[in-house]
């Protein structure tokens, strides 16, 4: 089933907490940047734990509010780094993790980052007595043939399913604490988004819809590297739900499917071609190893007025960002696979 406990309004505190400081692991990445934007717009403080590196994507997506973000350089697989970053925070949105290709190439590193990293976050939650943790699971916990019972067909999906079990254990077994202090039950909400798309999505085996929008903006041909049907979820919708999950005070260990709208690649290409007439777009390759008919949970119990962004609107928003970037990127030759270093994303999104 999609949720280990019944999902109803009494599962959450009646009053949502405001003005919290939320730790965002993996905040330097695509989803992290949009989550930070949503957090700050909602009036919360944000602290990021991520490996040292380029922060231009975050500054571009978040804009002027990015100056308020606290940064802790570190690795989620290092318990000391997580503990230091978590100190003084009120909760966490745990996004740090390796994606499908990297997990396939280095399964042991996938265990260190995806599984051990999640344990470190939940240990920090117990020490800090947080009301809850929101964490990124994935529709990848399902295999290609069964849309009801998780049976992952990838190392990535297997690590995400393990993380769901860890979250459930920290809620059900409050006495299990390494330092011997009285246990603190850690409530959590794990989100299983299907394919997330939006401006800035550049990596992962399912980045094709986002990269197709970039290709349209650059007037370059592009081949989406998978076929078949898949659920598509716009990144701002995902960010909105993560912020609600981290601040709602869940009273359980929930896991919720975030399916979006299901389209075949042919249907997706029809909509993309309408936005970019004359651009050569196609799809080839095996379907994603996830059953397309996943049951969707009612996310309005986290976000009362939740309305998913229609595919055409989400693709158009994504395309408009890349078109502004392409227009500003004079004298350079940006590739479809990466954001050009010549045009800061902050100019692209906030011009």
**pLDDT, tens digit, 9 for 90 and up, residues 311-324:** 999 999 999 999 99
For residue 176, what pLDDT is reported?
A: 52
Query: Which residue reads 């392409």 in tokens?
Result: 326
Full residue range of the structural domain in which residue 100 is found: 9-194+233-259+296-307
Q: Is residue 270 part of a domain?
A: no
Question: For residue 209, is it within any domain?
Answer: no
Order of strands, sheet of 261-264, starting from the edge strand that comes earlier in the sequence: 195-197, 229-234, 261-264
Q: Is the pLDDT of residue 29 over 90?
A: yes
Give me the number of domains the chain comprises.
Answer: 1
Residues 95 and 134: their CA atoms lie apart, in Å, by 9
pLDDT at 177 over 70: no
217 domain-assigned: no
Q: Is the pLDDT of residue 55 over 50?
A: yes
* Token pair 């990535």 in the structure block, residue: 156
pLDDT digits (tens, 9 = 90+) for 147-169: 999 999 999 999 999 999 999 99
* Residue 248, domain member (yes or no): yes
**Quick one: pLDDT band at residue 344, thresholds 50, 70, 90?**
very low
Residue at 317 is within a domain: no
- Amino acid 179: pLDDT: 52
**Could you tell me if residue 271 is inside a domain?**
no
> What does the pLDDT read at residue 181?
52
130 in a structural domain: yes
**What is the pTM (predicted TM-score) of this model?**
0.88
What stretch of H or E contains 48? Answer: strand 45-50
Report the range of poorest mean pLDDT among 9-18, 21-30, 50-59, 178-187: 9-18
Give the pLDDT band (50/70/90) at residue 302: confident
Residue 15 has pLDDT above 80, yes or no: no
| C-alpha angle 192-256-103 in degrees, rounded to nearest 5 | 25
Please state, for a pLDDT cut of 70, what percent of the chain lies above it: 86
* Percent of the chain's residues with pLDDT above 90: 78
Q: Which of 3-12, 25-34, 314-323 has the lowest mean pLDDT?
A: 3-12
Judge whether 204 lies within some domain. Answer: no
CB-based contact 136:94 (threshold 8 Å): yes
- Report, as an integer, the average pLDDT of 21-28: 98
- Please give the Cα distance from 279 to 215 (Å, whole number): 8
Q: Tell me, what CATH number does 26's domain have?
A: 3.40.50.720
For 196-254, how does the pLDDT look when each residue is reduced to its tens digit (9 = 90+)? 999 999 998 899 999 999 999 999 999 999 999 999 999 999 999 999 999 988 889 99
């Amino acid at each position: 089933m999609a949720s280990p406990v019944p999902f109803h309004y009494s599962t959450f505190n009646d009053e949502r907490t405001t003005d919290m400081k939320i730790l965002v692991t993996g905040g330097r990445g695509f989803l992290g940047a949009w989550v930070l934007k949503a957090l700050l717009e909602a009036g919360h403080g944000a602290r990021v734990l991520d490996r040292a590196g380029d922060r231009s994507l975050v500054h571009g997506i978040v804009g002027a509010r990015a100056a308020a973000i606290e940064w802790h350089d570190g690795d989620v697989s290092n318990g000391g780094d997580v503990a230091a970053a978590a100190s003084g925070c009120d909760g966490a949105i745990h996004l740090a993790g390796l994606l499908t290709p990297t997990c396939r190439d280095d399964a042991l590193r996938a265990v260190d980052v995806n599984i051990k990293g999640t344990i470190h976050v939940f240990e920090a939650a117990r020490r800090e007595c947080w009301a809850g943790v929101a964490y990124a699971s994935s529709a990848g916990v399902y295999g290609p043939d069964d849309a009801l019972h998780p049976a992952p067909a990838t190392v990535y999906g297997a690590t995400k399913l393990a993380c769901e079990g860890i979250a459930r254990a920290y809620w059900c077994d409050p006495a299990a604490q390494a330092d011997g202090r009285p246990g603190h039950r850690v409530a959590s909400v794990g989100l299983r988004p299907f394919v997330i798309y939006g401006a800035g999505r550049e990596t992962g085996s399912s980045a094709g819809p986002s990269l197709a929008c970039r290709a349209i903006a650059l007037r370059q041909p592009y081949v989406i590297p998978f076929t078949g049907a898949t659920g598509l979820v716009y990144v701002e919708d995902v960010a909105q739900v993560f912020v609600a999950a981290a601040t709602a005070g869940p009273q359980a260990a929930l896991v919720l499917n975030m399916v979006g709208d299901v389209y075949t690649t042919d249907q997706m290409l029809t909509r993309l071609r309408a936005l970019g007439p004359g651009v050569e777009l196609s799809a080839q390759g095996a379907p994603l190893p996830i059953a397309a008919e996943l049951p969707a949970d009612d996310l309005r119990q986290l976000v009362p007025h939740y309305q998913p962004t229609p595919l055409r609107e989400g693709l158009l928003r994504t395309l408009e960002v890349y078109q502004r970037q392409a227009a500003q990127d004079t004298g350079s030759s940006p590739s479809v696979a990466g954001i050009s270093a010549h045009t800061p994303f902050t100019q692209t999104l906030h011009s």
